[in-house]
Structure 1
């Protein structure tokens, strides 16, 4: 690993130079973070589970014609992906009031929204990833009006797919965060899905019990994060023979 050139390191993943031009290797770490890294822990096995769950979802999205950066999984923690120019926006699709939306609007968490809502957040940890409007996005040149249209259309297609996928295994898709990038192919450029889709980036509630099967278990000190992620993987039918051992608990990083 040390012989590879590190291109970028984020809170939960590392990007390395890929084996071919235009490719990268995406490595999933065991780091768990919340509140823009104000809360940080190492949770053994989380990266393995996120790698497998994200692989499963991205492969299915590729199969139904949603363009993504995913090429193939390399090993337990790594994927081969296409290199893209990341658009500096976090795109959040909300189906149910929860988290910051419930707090901002004084809504009871769990309230079904009248329709799916798309929100944009400027990717900047130092600023706390502030929420922005389409006007901000176009005024500051983060994306063009046509790119925003493409992003919103893809986000809604992804939402339709994920809602059905999780409903089929008894899970309610509350909301999720995705990122997009520009893929350049000769003279052509297109917007494609990048980053990951996993319980780190989705709110997933058991339909019957309402139990949280996502990173809110870490944010809210509920415990059982790896077990919840394992349950999501089990329901999706992707649990593996060498599953990560369930740790004794998160190890706080000072």
Structure 2
């Protein structure tokens, strides 16, 4: 049987974190894994330049997910991966960000293991980490925040989720998939005792062309998202650390420079 200790082994899954978007933020191991791929099963937001790192002969299969619409349900994605591995293929499952941070990587690992097949995981730079670094926004800081939490803003029973204690003085809250529910998120946090004037950053398309980093206050989060026509992918950062970022000015300059390069 193939083992992960044998790099020439056939019939295995390599779950790869593709990072926040910029191909230059891939890990060395991720690039090597892509070079071995017989088949690439990828999310919808993967930069085409990342896909180009796989052999030209390797089919690219998109299993893109969008809000309220999945190309394939998760069970079907699991079955697809397992079926290809059983043919002896090296399947690179390419996920945006990190596979184990809101990427359902754990579910896919469980499915492959349940089928008795080998799987390995290559971590990636999560979207929040990449976008925050680009915006010069530290998620922790000795003077402002000693804790950071990550939550999903698009989930079942959002209003019933217990976020108490995750945001406020000395704490940073990072919210993935929160654009569509920004107003509900702000109302929820304020109801839980977070000050309405708590700074918030919205980091849109972090590390990618067209990136924006916008600042506002918690009470204005929903209206600002609508006013600025913010679109996914984006992460929300709630906390005093937001004031340390020169995000808007720096990201505007960066975005203009990228557009000039691609013009």
Query: TM-score, normalised to structure 2's length?
Result: 0.23
Higher helix share: 2
Higher strand share: 1
Query: TM-score, normalised to structure 1's length?
Result: 0.23
